Amino acid sequence: QVQLVESGGGLVQAGGSLRLSCAASGRTFRSYAMGWFRQAPGKEREFVAGISWNGRRTFYPDSVKGRFTISRDNANNTVYLRMNRMTLEDTAVYSCAAEHWGIGNADSRQYTYWGQGTQVTISS
């Protein structure tokens, strides 16, 4: 069982930056690939970043590539999402998810555990 708790969301002006954190419970965090997904009102959930269990592979969709960076700190059971040059289209609830021995790709069906999410709002 893995419990995930996101933090770091808030209100940011367009062009600004934000770093989200996802803290995981349990001693097996290092065996889980981690992903970040977001969902805006009226839209489907969208994959924004993933990192393999060993941190060697990362994945991003074109919509955030070059602006978002995912990283993990296995010693502290935490995965981060750094978001730069944010736009109004980045407004959404951001959730982290865990996939046992996974690679962290975009397929949400592969993820077993999900956090509750944190709201990110971009203002013009």
Distances (CA, A) of 68 to 30, 47, 72, 96, 110: 22, 12, 14, 14, 22
Contact assessment for residue 34 and residue 51, using Cβ atoms and an 8 Å cutoff: yes
C-beta atoms surrounding 57 within 10 Å: 13
CA distance 88 to 84: 12
Tens of pLDDT along the chain (124 residues) come to 899 999 999 999 999 999 999 999 977 899 999 999 999 999 999 999 999 998 999 999 999 999 999 999 999 999 999 999 999 999 999 999 999 988 999 999 999 999 999 999 999 9
